[in-house]
Structure 1
Amino acid sequence: MWQAFVSDAFGQGYHGSSLWNHLGTSLARILIAFLCCVLTAVPIGLLCGRWHSIRAIVAPLVHFYRPLPPLAYYTLLILWFGIGEMSKIMLLFLAGFAPIFIACVSAVESLDPAKMLVARILGASGWKLFRYVIFPSTLPDIFVGMRTSLGFIYTTLVAAEMVAAESGVGWMVLDASKFLKSDHVFVGILAMGLTGLVLEGCFRCLERLFVPWKGKAE
């Protein structure tokens, strides 16, 4: 396994690409999909938590596709978006959208009514109510949803790189497993696990930076 790691990382690589190139390709797909999830799921989830009419339209769709295994609809994504990067990113996006959406809806629903009442008494309404009360109060739950979402995206990576892919650490693990190259499989698994730990650590640092009051008495 050590020889495979040296070869993949610093030698000829796996199928002509180094381990770092495979990791870079996979991380690019993950981060693009995750960014799209955050930019869409957070506002939609907060709106659905605030207004029941919007939730009645969006929530059933999310809860319908959420329990479906990714491979069940990956073929449809390939038919609609082709075999390139778009279908892979869309698969990762759908895997990561639901956890953030559910966390945002749940966070708004669990807001303390007393806080909302006091804010209204003090003159907050509309945008100010959202900016100074709703959004800060839901940030801890949003970060939990984001961390869960990133985990779902990472576990779906292998499925996303199954079809028409020639790079990516998930593809590397799959291709090596077909030819019983267990040393390369272990290298890919360790690479994914270690990068997952690094991403988790980065999220904890961001959480401490943006939500310093979490876990502390008010």
Structure 2
Amino acid sequence: MMVLAIYTAIFIVSFFVVRFIIKGIRGVRKDYTSLKTVTFGDESAVKPDRWASILSVLTIFLLWGAFTGSKWVPVHAPGPFVGDTSFTYTAENKEGAKDDATVYVRVSKVDVEVEDITAEPGDGFAKDDVAMIGAWRSKLILTDKNDEVTRKEGSQIVAINGQAIAPGGSVQVNDGRVALTAKGSINFTPDKGMQMEPIWLPSPEAVVSRVGDITKNGYQNFTLMEHLFWSIYRVILGFVLGALVGIPLGYAMGL
């Protein structure tokens, strides 16, 4: 919904810029078509607007860069959480005794190496834990692995940051969301923000860099020009063979 609002706002602003500023500078068009009072169904009354085309292309690239964290655009959508965060969980043993412990989490970009996070286990039968997670990822945290009382011995998590939780439930915490699985283990998902993960939509500069790399080094032992040649060759060959049967079929095969 936010993306649609931004997209709509850009085009509304662009409309007023073209309508009142650019057209004001160029002046009102004075030709035969402008004198017509009825233009419904008259294709000659439709005129392309070059400024609208330019703004449309710029808007697409602006949104592309904004939602991929590109360095080429001045504005960016909120990215995924990266850094250190923590949350507490409350464990209850079979006797009904409760103890709090803290989970320290370090979130980093997947392709960036960072130092492992450390923490002292603390007092009580529930011990503090640490976890390393990649941005846009989630991780199952087995908090009872270092606890004095495990789940097999009757321990269970009953609260996250003081909020009651049951298996299958979830709690929103600082910088992410904590869910409790059916087996009683913790699944932590850092905030993903609004930017696209590079594996699904890379930034413009990453695409340019990749194209340059393929142009220089090729892809799967073939150069870029060889890939393009065989792609075009298959299109033309399909068009010719299809045209021998019928032009519509040849056109479809060519596409």
Normalising by the residue count of structure 2, what TM-score does the alignment of the two structures yield?
A: 0.27
Normalising by the residue count of structure 1, what TM-score does the alignment of the two structures yield?
A: 0.31
Indicate the structure with greater strand content: 2
Higher relative contact order (CA 8 A, sep 6+): 1
Larger radius of gyration: 2
